[in-house]
Amino acid sequence: MQIAMILALVTAGSLFVIALNTGTDISESQILRWIRVAGSISSVAALLVALQLLSENGKSIERQDRAYVLVKDALINYTDPGGPLARIELVNFGKTPAFELSGKGDCKVMKWPTSENVSLAEIEITKDTTALGPAVGKTSYIKCPDTLDVAGLAEGTSAIVVRGEYTYRDVFDKERTGSFTRMVGGSYGIDSNKMTQLGSDSAN
């Protein structure tokens, strides 16, 4: 509001100075018109300031209260009858529910070190019609190839790498995305059935 008042006073003062410099006679009606113009500018400026404050407050509230879905745990079952099976637990660490959680991912057994990319294929993170509330998790399973080289995993010459991406909507109706990469073997070796985080998870 202070900015709006300053703009109004500056505008009225500028009009008055222009009139004096040009030798224009200043009537009472002209002064009233200038006041109305200054008042209009003041109102517009006040509205712009209010909108900016509302926008900043809205972004702050959104950051504080939105859903944040992240990987809490990643384990692998080496002895599953169908071959190694990665278990990925996604949890909503935010304050409000996440909706329509879905994703895709893949698992590969590869020589290590490698520059091979882990491709993405559809997995069991199918779109969920129920809301994922705060502190609530959802477990998905990613099947890995059954060409398992346990000795290579322990020695660091091979690795099982799991990569996934997922999306969901928050209460502000914005689509959010995340991705993760987990592995066993390679330079990390084997730590029971726990998968090690490879690089940084992505989340927005």
Domain CATH code at residue 127: 2.60.40
What torsion do the CA atoms of 197, 198, 199, 204 make, to the nearest 10 degrees? -60
Task: Please name the residues in contact with 83: beta carbons below 8 A apart, sequence gap of 6 or more.
Answer: 143, 144, 145, 146, 148
Rounded Cα distance between 100 and 71, Å, is 17
Tell me what pLDDT residue 146 has.
81
Cβ neighbours of 192 (radius 10 Å): 7
Is residue 95 located within the same domain as residue 174?
yes
- Inter-residue contact 108 to 147 (CB < 8 Å): no
Is residue 35 located within the same domain as residue 97?
no
Task: Residue 192: give the domain boundaries.
Answer: 69-203
Count the domains in the chain: 2
73 is written with which tokens? Answer: 């745990």
Tell me what pLDDT residue 67 has.
96
- Residue 172 DSSP class: T
Is residue 90 located within the same domain as residue 141?
yes
Is residue 111 located within the same domain as residue 134?
yes
Q: Which of 13, 35, 65 is the last residue of a domain?
A: 65
> What is the distance, to the nearest Å, from the Cα of residue 161 to the centroid of all Cα atoms in its chain?
24
Tell me what pLDDT residue 17 has.
47
Q: In whole numbers, what is the pLDDT of the chain averaged over residues?
A: 79
Tell me what pLDDT residue 188 has.
86
For range 180-202, the mean pLDDT: 89
More confident residue, 142 or 48: 142
> For the chain, what percent of residues have pLDDT higher than 90?
36
Q: Which residue has the tokens 């099976």?
A: 85
| Per-residue pLDDT reduced to its tens digit, 60-100 | 888 899 999 999 999 999 888 888 899 999 999 999 999 99
* pLDDT over threshold 80, residue 104: yes
Rounded Cα distance between 145 and 168, Å, is 28
pTM of the model: 0.69
Is residue 149 located within the same domain as residue 73?
yes
| Per-residue pLDDT reduced to its tens digit, 108-163 | 888 888 877 776 666 555 566 779 999 999 998 898 888 777 788 888 899 999 99
Is residue 76 located within the same domain as residue 151?
yes
Tell me what pLDDT residue 4 has.
46
Q: Which of 11, 45, 65 is the last residue of a domain?
A: 65
Tell me what pLDDT residue 60 has.
84
32 is written with which tokens? Answer: 């009233």
